[in-house]
Chains A and B, each alone.
Chain A
Amino acid sequence: MNRHPLLLAFAVFYVLLAILTWSQDVTRAPDGRTVLTFWHTYGDDETAALKEIIADWEKLPANARWTIRPIRLPFDGHKPKIRTALTVGLGPDMARVDWSFVCELARKNACVDLSTLGFDKIKDQYVPGPLQTNFIDGKYQGFPEQTNCVALFYNKSMFRDAGLDPDKPPATWDEFIEMGKKLTDAKKGIYAFGMDNTVWWTLPFFNTFGAHMISEDGKKCLLDSPQAIAALELKASLFATHQIEAGAWRAGGTPPEQGFQNQKYAMIFTGPWNLPRFANSKLDFGVGLIPAGPAGTSSNVGGNNAVIFRAGKHHQACFDFLAYFTSAEVQAKWCQRLNQIPVNLGAYDLIKVDDPHLKVFLEQMKSTVGNPVVTSFEMLENVVNPEMEAVLTGQKSAADAMRDAVRKVETKVLTL
């Protein structure tokens, strides 16, 4: 060691630095407040708004003991990051997670049953669809935090060219097919519709037929019901029988959003996140409700929920913050500023929505139905998507495909 005094000095300096900066309690802020960590996946604008909301909450006299520390995660990596953190016992106090992740967290006993903290008193103020994605095995395990759904985007100039009224999108599936035939010109590569073929994107079809995928107790798959089969038959007929769908779901097919932007598809299903994109590209487009089926119009539920982790020590404080964050007043401010759909029904009366397209989403949101609740939505997609593709390509009847899907879902998904 005498030969390397510099190395020794560095080693001593490092050890001293570690000792001096060591803190037994990282959960306390310099001002003595207790830190509540909140992992989220917001973008830049949302993060700025979140910080202001946190500051407002911390100013309230009842919250003088607490400070929220928001930590941003990339959305694509948030599930593995949270899984790993929970495995090693270093998870946050609360987190914003994709709606499909709540079931896994709840069934693996990671998050708090909100009924024990007073959620029953406030649950009725939330929009039913997003609220339902938190209702796991008879308990509310998360707050609806941000929501969206898909609606029908249609190209007004293509409607005009086809001799259709640009202010009247199809209201029913029959009208959709009838208008679709007028809008399609396959020789020019123009189609009335471009669609995706995954479970989540097919939920609007199932929901407008009143079909449920999973029983309420989570033990049976109901995809072989007459409603589900009829919904899938309709979806397949758009491509195979009526030939008004472009095959956008096939490998290498032009994705719906790209086809819509390039004016190759006159109609697509998509969400409010695409409103700025299409507006910026100067498309003359409108937004309508999903065409009604036997059960009326309906859509799927997207977005995120917020959960409180069992491993944290301050469940009630986290609950109070999330209740404040999703309250009508705060939601109204948040959605007004960020052009989003409120999760709190009370906020609908408080916000002034000028965007006619967003108004349609607010309307569509009210008719959404909760998504299927399964531990692994990825596995559900892995199992059901191929069966739906077999129907679209005419290799199986909808009844056979759904019978096989039920068998696979019950053995591979509901056993997880």
Chain B
Amino acid sequence: MKKETLSSLLFLLPFLVLFGIFLLFPIAYSFFLSFFGSPRDFSLSNLEFVGFSNYINILGIHRTPTGWKLNDPQFWWSLAVTVLYGGISIPLGIAAALGLALLLNNKLRGKEFFRSAFFLPNVLDMLVVGVIWYLIYAPKYGALAQISTVFLGPDNFFNTTGLLGSPLTALPAVVIAMVLKGAGFGMILFLAALQNIPECIYEAADIDGASKWEQFWRITLPLLKPILVFMVITGVIGSLNAFTEIYAMTAGGPQVVIGDETLGSTSVSGYYLYKQFEGGRYGYAAAISYVLLTVTLIITFVQQKFFAGAK
């Protein structure tokens, strides 16, 4: 081995040791764990090998007197909720961030204050933001309930049930909270990109008689495409990792009955995984995490292909 390579490795060693112990080993161990049932004692050696049973229980189907059924409908439901969560939050998040950036890119008095104000929620911890919004949405005593009561009387939906109390509104309510939390970060990215677009392009468009709307669609938006791609990719990752906001605001509920299955209307896959782990089904939770990893890899691959021309 070359002396330079050896010294490089030596310098990297502290990081590699920590990386190996705290990241690589748990990742490998959870894959190993996904082939085992619940531990029979507290040691790491006495595990019941179950082969692919956990994966079959997650992904498989079985026959019942009334027809074929999914082995774990709650897992598939949680995936669907995650897709819905991402499907609403990503476009809304981009629209909010872009809207704020366009507004604050004008000659507005005190725009520095607004930029800081909109960015501030992004600095706060997700759990804190979740609790704040939980209190805003709360029926009876929440801010939204109090305001709505003034205009609509005490029998209005916000005061009686609350946005988090209905299966139809709980997920959109979480999305609104998270969009407003994250919009400031996207706004900064869009602002930086907007300020890099040369003014002369707009002047040329003005001379050619393009309206402001046409300028936005044909000049601004195409030149913001790299930021849009970045926002979509980070949005997808954020949706697949969603957990804290659900934990803080809804605990996966309220419940909705579909067929004869009782399902959490906001139970995203990350939260469903956590509940399995919390309940002591470690092997099963590990298997779910690897199924989710596979889903993430597929989505990432598709995104790479889809956005390949964005550069």
A interface with B by C-beta (< 8 Å): 83, 86-87, 104, 108-110, 187, 189, 247, 250-254, 264, 375-376, 378-379, 382, 386-387, 389-390, 393, 395-396, 400-401, 404, 412-413, 415-416
> Whole-angstrom distance between the alpha carbons of A35 and B161 in the complex?
56
B257-284 CB contacts (< 8 Å) to partner A: 257, 260-264, 275, 278-281
Query: Are B42 and A252 interface neighbours, CB within 8 A?
Result: no
Check if A251 sits within 8 Å of B154, measured CB to CB.
Answer: no
Q: How far is the CB of A51 from chain B (nearest CB, A)?
A: 29
Asked if B280 and A104 sit within 8 Å, CB to CB, the answer is: yes
Contact partner, B264, options A247, A254, A386, Cβ 8 Å: A386
Any A CB within 8 A of the CB of B250: yes
A416, B256: Cβ atoms under 8 Å? Answer: no
A382–B154 touching, CB < 8 Å:
no
- Cβ-defined contact, B262 with A386, below 8 A: yes
Query: Does B40 lie at the interface of the complex (its beta carbon under 8 Å from any beta carbon of A)?
Result: yes
The answer to whether A416 touches B165 (Cβ under 8 A) is no
Contact between chains at A189 and B140 (CB < 8 Å): yes
**9 A–B contact pairs at CB < 8 A?**
A104-B280, A250-B161, A251-B170, A252-B163, A375-B280, A378-B278, A379-B280, A413-B279, A416-B280
Residue of B42, B263, B278 near A87 (CB, 8 A) is B42
Please name 8 further chain A to chain B contacts, defined as beta carbons within 8 Å, in addition to the given A253-B138, A378-B279, A412-B281, sorted by A numbering. Answer: A87-B42, A87-B44, A109-B41, A251-B254, A252-B162, A389-B255, A393-B255, A404-B261
B241 at interface (Cβ–Cβ under 8 A)? no
The reply to whether B254 and A389 form a contact with Cβ atoms under 8 Å apart is yes
List, in ascending order, chain A residues with CB within 8 A of B134's CB: 251-252
Residue on B with the closest CB to A405? B262
Residue of B nearest to A253 (CB): B139
Does the CB pair B279–A382 fall under 8 Å? yes
B41–A250 contact, CB under 8 A? no
Q: In the complex, what distance in Å separates the CA atom of A404 from the CA atom of B258?
A: 13
| B182 contacts chain A at the CB level, 8 A cutoff | no
- The CA of A28 and the CA of B281, in the complex, are separated in Å by 39
| A412 and B279 form a contact (CB under 8 A) | yes
Once bound together, how far apart are the Cα atoms of A400 and B262, in whole Å?
11
Which residue of chain B is the closest to A246 with respect to CB atoms? B140
Q: How far is the CB of A357 from chain B (nearest CB, A)?
A: 27
Instruction: Tell which of B139, B154, B170, B249 has the most Cβ of chain A within 10 Å.
Output: B139
Question: B164 at interface (Cβ–Cβ under 8 A)?
Answer: yes
Residues of B217-256 at the interface with A, using a CB-CB cut-off of 8 Å, are 249-251, 253-256
Give the residues in chain B near A412, CB-CB below 8 Å: 279, 281
Complex contact A252–B281 (CB within 8 A): no
CB-contact partner of B42 in A110, A187, A253, under 8 A = A110
7 pairs of A and B residues whose beta carbons are closest in the complex: A379-B279, A252-B138, A86-B42, A395-B257, A376-B280, A251-B164, A252-B162
Of the residues A86, A254, A375, contact of B141 by C-beta under 8 Å: A254
Q: Is B43 an interface residue (CB 8 A)?
A: yes
The residue on A at minimum CB distance from B263 is: A386
Contacts of B39 in A (CB 8 A): 108
Q: Looking across the interface, which residue of chain A has its beta carbon closest to that of B272? A: A382
Given contacts A104-B280, A108-B39, contact A400 B154 (CB under 8 A): no
Q: Which residue of B lies closest to A411 (CB)?
A: B57
User: Within the complex, which residue of A110, A251, A264, A390 is in contact with B41, where a contact is CB–CB below 8 Å?
Assistant: A110
Encode contact with A along B168-206: 1 for CB under 8 Å, 0 otherwise: 001000000000000000000000000000000000000
B251's partner among A87, A109, A189, A251 (CB-CB below 8 A) is A251
**Distance, CA A253 to CA B162, complexed state (A):** 8
Complex CA–CA separation, A251 to B173 (angstroms): 12
A247 to B162, CA, bound (A): 11
Specify which of B41, B44, B275 is in contact with A382 (CB 8 Å cutoff): B275
Among A251, A375, A386, A395, the one with the most B-chain Cβ atoms within 10 Å of its Cβ is A251
In the complex, B85 has a CB within 8 A of chain A: no
Known: A108-B40, A187-B154, A250-B161. A386 touches B278 (CB 8 A): no
Give the residues in chain B near A382, CB-CB below 8 Å. 275, 278-279
A395 partner residues in chain B, CB cutoff 8 A: 255-257, 262
Instruction: Tell me which residues across on chain A come within 8 A of B170, comparing CB atoms.
Output: 251
Chain A residues near B279: list those with CB within 8 A: 376, 378-379, 382, 412-413, 416
Q: How far is the CB of B157 from chain A (nearest CB, A)?
A: 12
Give Cα A378 to B39, complex, Å: 16
CB distance from A410 to the nearest CB of B (A): 14
Tell me the nearest residue of chain B to A392, going by C-beta. Answer: B255
Question: Are A404 and B262 CB-contacts (below 8 A) given A108-B39, A382-B279?
Answer: yes
Contact assessment for B42 and A83 in the assembled complex, using a CB-CB cutoff below 8 Å: yes
Min CB distance A95 to B, Å, is 13
Q: Is the CB of B154 within 8 A of A250?
A: no
Residues of chain A lying within 8 A (CB to CB) of residue B38? 375, 415-416
Q: What's the nearest-Cβ distance from chain A to residue B4, in Å?
A: 23
Bound complex: CA of A390 vs CA of B38, how far in Å? 29
Q: How far is the CA of A109 from the CA of B43 in the complex (A)?
A: 10
Interface centre among B42, B254, B255, B281 (most CB of A within 10 A): B42
A106: min CB distance to chain B, Å:
11
Q: Tell me whether B75 is interfacial, beta carbon within 8 Å.
A: no
Distance A390 CA – B255 CA, assembled complex (angstroms): 6
- Which one, B41, B44, B139, B154, contacts A252 given CB within 8 A? B139
Residues of A near B249 (CB, < 8 A) are 251
Contact with A along B137-155 (1 / 0, CB 8 A): 1111110000000000010
Considering the complex, give the chain A residue whose CB is closest to the CB of B260: A404
A100 to B5 CA separation, bound complex (whole angstroms):
55
Q: Which chain B residue shows the least CB distance to A376?
A: B280
Q: How far is the CB of A405 from chain B (nearest CB, A)?
A: 9
Q: Which of B1-55 contact A (CB under 8 A)?
A: 38-44
Assess whether B253 is in contact with A389, with CB atoms less than 8 Å apart. Answer: yes
Closest to A379 in B: B279
Q: How far is B170's CA from A298's CA once the two chains are assembled, in angstroms? A: 36
Among B161, B164, B253, the residue within 8 A (CB) of A386 is B253
Q: Is the CB of A253 within 8 A of B255?
A: no
* A378 to B251 alpha-carbon distance, docked (Å): 14
- Complex contacts, A404 vs chain B, CB 8 Å: 260-262
How long is the Cα–Cα vector from A69 to B27 in the complex, in angstroms? Answer: 37
B253: A residues at CB distance < 8 A: 251, 386, 389
Chain B residues with CB under 8 A of A87: 42-44
